[in-house]
Amino acid sequence: MTELHYISTRDKNNRVTASQAILKGIAEDGGLYVPTTMPQLSLNWETLQHQSYQEIAFPILKAFLTDFSDEELQYCIHSAYDTTFDDPAIAPVKKVGNAYIMELFHGRTIAFKDMALSILPYLLTTAAQKNQQDKDIVILTATSGDTGKAALAGFADVPHTKIIVFYPKGGVSTIQERQMVTQAGDNTFVYGVKGNFDDAQTMVKKLFNDATLNQTLAEKGFQLSSANSINIGRLCPQVVYYVYAYAQLVKQGALQIGEAMNVVVPTGNFGNILAAYYAKQLGVPIQTLVCASNENDVLVDFFHTGTYNRQRKFEVTSSPSMDILVSSNLERLIFEMTGSNAEETKALMDSLTNNGHYHIEKEVLHSYEEFYAARASQEETAQTIESVLTKENYLLDPHTAVAQCAYTKYQQETKDNTPTVIVSTASPYKFPQSVVSAVKDSDVSALSDQQLIEEVHQLSGVEIPLAVTSVLEAEIRHTRVLEISEMKQSVYDSLNI
What is the closest distance, in whole angstroms, from the C-beta atom of residue 381 to ligand PLP in the complex? 12
**Which residue type is seen at 68?**
F
Q: Say how many C-beta atoms besides its own lie within 10 A of residue 82's C-beta.
A: 12
Minimum CB separation from ligand PLP for residue 46, in Å? 31
Residue with Cβ nearer ligand PLP (67 or 146): 146
The least CB distance from residue 293 to ligand PLP, in Å, is: 10
Residues counted in the chain: 497
Q: Which is nearer to ligand PLP, 105 or 191 (CB)?
A: 105
Of 16, 440, 492, the closest CA to residue 215 belongs to 492
Neighbours of 367 (CB within 10 A): 8
Cα(236)–Cα(263) distance, integer angstroms: 17
b/e per residue 85-104 (b: at least 16 CB within 10 A): bbeeebbbbeebeebbbbbb
Q: How many CB atoms lie within 10 A of CB 380?
A: 19
- Closest distance of CB 271 from ligand PLP, Å: 3
| Comparison of 322 and 482: residue with beta carbon closer to ligand PLP | 322
Is the CB of residue 151 less than 8 Å from the CB of residue 141?
Answer: yes
| 43 or 240: CB nearest ligand PLP | 240
Question: What gap in Å lies between CA 388 and CA 450, rounded to an integer?
Answer: 24
Residues forming beta bridges with residue 33, ordered by sequence position: 8
Q: How far apart are the first and last CA of the chain?
A: 44
Q: From 417, 416, 424, 414, select the one nearest 392 (Cα to Cα).
A: 424
* 107 vs 271 by CB, closer to ligand PLP: 271
Q: How far is the CB of 250 from ligand PLP (least distance, A)?
A: 25
CB of 167 to ligand PLP, least distance (A): 12
Q: What is the CA radius of gyration of the chain?
A: 21
Q: Using alpha carbons only, give the angle 71, 74, 78 rounded to the nearest 5 degrees.
A: 145
Interface residues with ligand PLP (CB under 6 A)?
A: 111-113, 146, 229, 266-272, 321-322, 399, 425-426
Q: Which is nearer to ligand PLP, 125 or 425 (by Cβ)?
A: 425
Closer residue to ligand PLP (CB): 111 or 152: 111
> Please, what is the minimum distance in Å from the beta carbon of residue 126 to ligand PLP?
23
